[in-house]
Amino acid sequence: MADCSEHCATSNDCVGVEFLGGNCKVFGAGKETPTADAKVLTKNCVKSERVCSSPFHFDLFEQKILVGFAREVVPAENVQVCMSACLNSFDTFGFECESVMYYPVDQECILNTEDRLDRPDLFADEVEDTVIYMDNNCAGSQCYAPYITQYIAVEGKQLENELDRIINVDVDSCQSLCTQRLSLTVSDPYPKWAL
């Protein structure tokens, strides 16, 4: 999947990619219809100095919200401005944005201090307002000065609900995967706002 997203990132004609069964399908501006149950990645341009090395910076869910962890509300004329506000929240507001909710009708962006993986019990459907919920996959992937990233070995333990599988790689590659915080979550097929 990383090769698929890298191909799209370097192509001017690519607006998104579909990944299903090991196959990659590139979407152009023709608004192709994705296959059901496929993982769809869309390309967005976001201004930030805090972009991490993860190929998937945000996981997106339409009509979902995280209740109770709003820290800042900022105006945002589009979803890219909202993503940028989340990525830059440490510099702008002094906290790391774990997730964000964008309300396109109100042009508002709500920055959260937690995400759906931290609090699945408070990840809920939204039926009244149009909203786009996004997990920030860059959150927690890097430390900001004066802190440094530390890895702690815990024998016989494995994280659940993340990569939850053993990959046969060397220590440096394993640390890189952890730092990139790759997410294998399935988002809604090709979001309506991206068409």
Each residue of 146-182: pLDDT tens digit?
A: 555 556 666 666 555 544 455 666 767 666 666 554 4
> Does residue 17 form part of some domain?
yes
Question: Is 35 inside any structural domain?
Answer: yes
Q: Range of 145's domain?
A: 51-185
Looking at the structure, do residues 75 and 158 belong to the same domain, yes or no? yes
What mean pLDDT comes out for the span 37-51? 63
What is the tens place of the pLDDT at every residue in 47-88?
556 666 666 678 889 999 999 999 999 999 999 899 889 988
Indicate whether 160 and 92 sit together in one domain.
yes
Same domain as 171, residue 155: yes
Any domain includes 22 = yes
- What average pLDDT does the segment 27-49 reach? 66
Burial of residue 8, with CB atoms counted within 10 A of its CB: 0-12 exposed, 13-18 middle, 19 or more buried: buried
64 lies in the same domain as 37:
no
Say whether both 118 and 34 belong to one domain: no
Judged against a pLDDT cut of 70, whether residue 187 lies above it is answered with no
* Residue 67 is assigned to a structural domain of this protein: yes
Token pair for 71? 């820290």
Choose between 45 and 70: higher pLDDT: 70
**For residues 193 and 62, what is the distance between their CA atoms, to the nearest angstrom?**
9
Asked if 32 and 2 sit in the same domain, the reply is yes
Amino acid symbol at 59: D
Number of domains the chain is built from: 2
In a domain, 112, yes or no: yes
Average pLDDT value for residue range 96-115: 95
Phi, psi of 48 (to 5 degrees): -165, 145
| 13 has a pLDDT exceeding 70 | yes
From CA 100, how far away is CA 104, in angstroms rounded? Answer: 13
Residue type, 102: Y
- Higher pLDDT: 142 or 35? It is 35
CB atoms inside a 10 Å sphere around CB 149: 11
16 & 93 share domain: no
Say if 194 falls within a structural domain: no
Are the C-beta atoms of 69 and 80 separated by less than 8 Å?
A: no
User: Does residue 116 sit within a domain?
Assistant: yes
> Are residue 39 and residue 55 in the same domain, yes or no?
no
- Indicate if the pLDDT at residue 120 is higher than 90: yes
The dihedrals phi and psi of 171, each to the nearest 5 degrees, come to -60, -45
Residue 28: pLDDT band with limits 50, 70, 90: confident
pLDDT band, residue 46 (cuts 50/70/90): low
pLDDT on residue 108: 97
Task: Give the CATH number for residue 130.
Answer: 3.50.4.10
Do 78 and 154 reside in the same domain of the chain? yes
Are residues 166 and 79 part of one domain? yes
Q: Which carries the bigger pLDDT value, residue 7 or residue 150?
A: 7
Q: Is residue 20 domain-resident? A: yes
The verdict on pTM exceeding 0.85 is no
- 119/168 same-domain check: yes
Alpha-carbon distance values, 154 to 78, 157, 158, 159, 185 (Å): 42, 6, 8, 10, 25
Q: Is the domain of 91 the same as that of 14?
A: no
Please determine, for residue 186, whether its predicted confidence score (pLDDT) is greater than 60: no
